[in-house]
Amino acid sequence: MERAPVTLTYLERPVYGFPQVDDLLGLKGGTARRWIDGYERRGKGYPPIVRETRTDNELVTWGEFVETGLLASIPPAASAIPWSGPLRPTCSPNSCAPANPLSGWHSSTT
């Protein structure tokens, strides 16, 4: 029995593991895992920033890699911005608005 081919967009293709993402983006070890898939520390769970929910999937898609790179480029002074959910758009049948918590943020260095 033949399987139908699975078609993935470029953004959905798995390309790296968490340690590779840390190395390629110059992040401290374990940062990509925490940002992309969330983590738990001392019994308290911290949800992912990049993924909508925790998956425990070790592979990072191209889209997740790009989003993590964008997060890594935010200056440390902006780290006080409150987290409000994944960086994916929130869509309803009538509209699609970005859910990016940084969408209203403007750098004071520009």
Domain locations in the chain as residue ranges: 10-97
Helix (H, G, I), strand (E, B) or coil at 17: strand
Angle separating helix axes 62-72 and 18-25, nearest 10 degrees: 40
pLDDT at res. 91: 59
Q: How far apart are CA 75 and CA 98, in angstroms?
A: 21
One digit per residue, the tens of pLDDT, for the chain of length 110 reads: 778 777 878 888 999 999 999 999 999 999 999 999 999 999 999 999 999 999 999 999 999 999 999 999 987 766 565 655 665 555 555 655 555 444 444 444 44
pTM for the full predicted model: 0.67
